[in-house]
């Protein structure tokens, strides 16, 4: 594992940076996540370059030498420059050391050595470096045994973990994120320091917390990070609604399943089928209404009646608090939460075409994602039960295909709109228009008329007559 696996384009890029380094008679090092990922054989398109002298000067020279001035971005206040080279984004910065105040995660920065710069890194596996000039056969500079941690699958800080997380609490979320992405374990002292400093998350902007949380959700097995967040006491600061699901009540010797661990298993199941962040959010929130609807009924045990409706209503508040987009993405998540119990109610052979039509009408183009979520919701350890549920959903999928082919209802728009109704009967906007549109929609969904313009127009005339309306000549 000790070898850095560089792509041919990366060698070309580092050769060009090395040339600029030589022209300025300075020293520069590749450091951080790129080194870690290329040792692990993972793809990486972000490269951090630490310069012994001025990082901005090095970035300028590199950009000038390679006709990249148009992609050069300077952040002089922070001593940082960015340059894009093909698919790669390179950040140049001078070696520095940092110190923090208690009420802010913004450090005081001063010039430092390469060792100082490695010491300020969050984790040992992110403090690995090699000289740009040695790019052909990199010799890893590893003062904190980061290579050993990579080999053992350990997340550990290069210095006192309590100080590390107190200084910059965002590193708490980054620790969990790396554990989730790499399937690594947290070193025991690191875990304890994270729990002890969990309250410090309150000084981090919500936007930054959400970025890290989304990266956890997008990892190949999100439950690793989500379970860690709950175990370490972080979830109440990020998504308290989910943390409230981590309990099991027992009344009259009757308990219910732990909805937190069920939920993160559902997210894992979805992750096996889809890379969609928003479908994973729907999986995360699909049962979020259960704590508010939980009741114990003497004859039935624990119930969660209406949790899908309550949960769908909670989505907007959660998205707003977490600074997630309040647009079609939020509506998509709320829709899947609201509908996630509908398909299982349609497994009976006696289920009418009308019920399937209504599901198609309500789900629209998201019907396939809804079915993925429903199938992921099967987390029973009973193989027979799992097989039965999957077969039932297979039947529903087949019925959906049959009705869709016949009625073309996916993303359906009524063939008659309000303007045509007004023009036909010579009326102004009124309640009658809504009544006619509703009647047409219901007639199509019930299968009383075909989903065609001709059938809907004839039906519109009939409904208009019932309301005392006549077509204008």
Q: pLDDT tens digits for 191-244?
A: 999 999 999 999 999 999 999 999 999 999 999 999 999 999 999 999 999 999
Q: Percentage of the chain with pLDDT > 70? A: 94
Q: Which residue has the higher pLDDT, 404 or 272?
A: 272
**Exposed, middle or buried by CB within 10 Å (0-12, 13-18, 19+), for 79?**
middle
Fold classification of 1-148 is: Beta Polymerase; domain 2 (3.30.460)
pLDDT at 319 over 90: yes
156 neighbors 124 (Cβ within 8 angstroms)? yes
Q: What is the pLDDT of residue 411?
A: 58
pLDDT at 137 over 60: yes
147 neighbors 140 (Cβ within 8 angstroms)? yes
Q: Which residue has the higher pLDDT, 452 or 337?
A: 337
Q: Which residue has the higher pLDDT, 267 or 403?
A: 267
Please enumerate in sequence order all residues whose Cβ is within 8 A of that of 55, keeping only pairs 6 or more positions apart, or say none.
49, 79, 80, 81, 92, 93, 94
pLDDT bucket at 407, cuts 50 / 70 / 90: low
Q: What is the mean pLDDT of residues 265-286?
A: 97
pLDDT bucket at 87, cuts 50 / 70 / 90: very high
Please enumerate in sequence order all residues whose Cβ is within 8 A of that of 209, keeping only pairs 6 or more positions apart, or say none.
170, 173, 201, 238, 322
What span, in angstroms and rounded, lies between the C-alpha atoms of 464 and 473? 15
* CATH 3.40.50 corresponds to the domain 260-407: no
pLDDT bucket at 389, cuts 50 / 70 / 90: confident
Q: What is the mean pLDDT of residues 424-453?
A: 88
CATH class (in words) of the domain with range 153-238: mainly alpha
pLDDT at 308 over 90: yes
Q: What is the mean pLDDT of residues 171-196?
A: 96
Q: Which residue has the higher pLDDT, 277 or 110?
A: 277
Domain boundaries along the sequence of the chain: 1-148, 153-238, 260-407, 418-466
Q: What is the mean pLDDT of the chain?
A: 90
Give me the phi and psi of 46, to 5 degrees please: -110, 125
Using H for helix, E for strand and C for coil, what is the string for 21-53? HHHCCCCEEEECHHHHHHHHCCCCCEEEEEECC
Q: What is the pLDDT of residue 109?
A: 62
pLDDT at 16 over 90: yes
Q: What is the pLDDT of residue 161?
A: 95
Q: What is the mean pLDDT of residues 446-466?
A: 88
pLDDT at 334 over 80: yes
Q: pLDDT tens digits for 91-123?
A: 999 988 665 555 655 656 668 889 989 998 999
pLDDT at 14 over 80: yes
Q: What is the mean pLDDT of residues 264-284?
A: 97
pLDDT at 410 over 70: no
Q: What is the mean pLDDT of residues 444-464?
A: 88
- Give me the residues paired with residue 81 across strands: 74, 92
């Amino acid at each position: 594992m000790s070898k850095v696996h560089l792509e041919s384009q990366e060698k070309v890029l580092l050769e060009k940076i090395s040339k600029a380094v030589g022209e300025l008679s300075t020293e520069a090092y590749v450091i951080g996540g790129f080194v870690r990922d290329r040792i692990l054989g993972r793809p990486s398109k972000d490269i951090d370059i630490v310069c012994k002298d001025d990082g901005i000067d090095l970035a300028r020279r590199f950009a000038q030498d390679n006709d990249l001035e148009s992609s050069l971005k300077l952040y002089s206040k922070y001593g940082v420059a960015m340059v894009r080279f093909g698919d790669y984004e390179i950040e140049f910065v001078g070696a520095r050391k940092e110190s923090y105040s208690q009420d802010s995660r913004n450090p005081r920065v001063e010039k430092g050595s390469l060792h100082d710069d490695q010491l300020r890194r969050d984790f040992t596996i992110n403090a690995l470096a090699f000289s740009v000039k040695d790019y052909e056969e990199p010799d890893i500079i590893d003062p904190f045994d980061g290579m050993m941690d990579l080999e053992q699958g350990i997340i550990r800080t290069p210095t006192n973990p309590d100080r590390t997380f107190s200084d910059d609490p965002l590193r708490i979320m980054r620790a969990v994120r790396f554990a989730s992405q790499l399937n690594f374990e947290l070193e025991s002292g690191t875990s304890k320091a994270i729990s002890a400093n969990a309250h410090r998350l309150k000084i981090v902007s919500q936007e930054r917390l959400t970025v890290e949380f989304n990266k956890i959700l997008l990892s190949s097995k999100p439950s690793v990070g989500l379970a860690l967040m709950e175990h370490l006491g972080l979830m109440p600061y990020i998504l308290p609604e989910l943390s409230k699901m981590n309990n099991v009540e027992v009344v009259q010797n009757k308990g219910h399943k732990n909805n937190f661990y069920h939920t993160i298993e559902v997210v894992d199941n979805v992750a096996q089928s889809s890379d969609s962040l928003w479908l994973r959010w729907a999986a995360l929130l699909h049962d979020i209404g259960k704590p508010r609807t939980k009741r114990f009924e003497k004859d039935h045990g624990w119930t969660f009646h209406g949790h899908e409706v309550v949960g769908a209503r909670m989505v907007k508040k959660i998205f707003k608090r977490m600074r997630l987009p309040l647009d079609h993405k939020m509506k998509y998540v709320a829709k899947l939460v609201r509908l996630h119990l509908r398909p299982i109610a349609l497994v009976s052979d006696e289920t009418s075409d009308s019920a399937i039509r209504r599901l198609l009408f309500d789900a629209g183009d998201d019907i396939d994602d809804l079915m993925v979520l429903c199938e992921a919701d099967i987390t029973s350890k009973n193989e027979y039960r799992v097989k039965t549920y999957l077969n039932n959903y297979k039947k529903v999928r087949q019925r959906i295909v049959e009705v869709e082919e016949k009625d073309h209802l996916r993303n359906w728009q009524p063939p008659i709109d309000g303007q045509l109704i007004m023009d036909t009967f010579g009326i102004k906007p009124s309640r009658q228009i809504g009544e006619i549109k509703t009647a047409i929609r219901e007639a199509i969904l019930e299968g009383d008329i075909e989903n065609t313009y001709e059938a809907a127009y004839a039906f519109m005339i009939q409904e208009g007559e019932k309301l005392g309306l006549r077509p204008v000549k």
